[in-house]
Amino acid sequence: LAANSDHLMQIQKCELVLIHTYPVGEESLVSDHLKKELSPVLTSEVHSVRAGRHLATRLNLLVQQHFDLASTTITNIPMKVSPPPFSSSPRTAEAAGPA
């Protein structure tokens, strides 16, 4: 359809990633499926992840894989002002960059 149109763009590559989330404390009824090539332009994969921090961790990993990024943790970052008494010291941050 798009190949014969002046107004539509042809899809070069499509990665379909389905993420099934379920509550902490419950069992998932959906299992993970590794990336599978459905056609020369379409791949699909399924991830089943607990909600909350588990979901955040999985999304971080998927973004790193998709964009070929590496994660680096930087510790002992000096602060210009004294931290409030309820915060933890020293300061730590995570940075992502090209792998």
- pLDDT, one tens digit per residue, over 65-77 is 988 888 888 887 7
Q: How far is CA 24 from CA 8, 12, 55, in A?
A: 43, 38, 10
What's the pLDDT at 38? Answer: 97
What's the pLDDT at 86? Answer: 67
What's the pLDDT at 83? Answer: 64
Query: Which single residue is written with the structure tokens 């309820």?
Result: 86
Return the domain boundaries, the chain.
2-71
Ranges of residues in the chain with a pLDDT under 70 are 1, 82-90
First to last CA, the chain: 37
What's the pLDDT at 95? Answer: 80
Is 0.85 surpassed by the pTM of this model? no
- Rounded distance, CA 27 to CA 48, Å? 10
Q: What is the pLDDT of residues 33-42, one digit of tens each?
A: 999 999 999 9
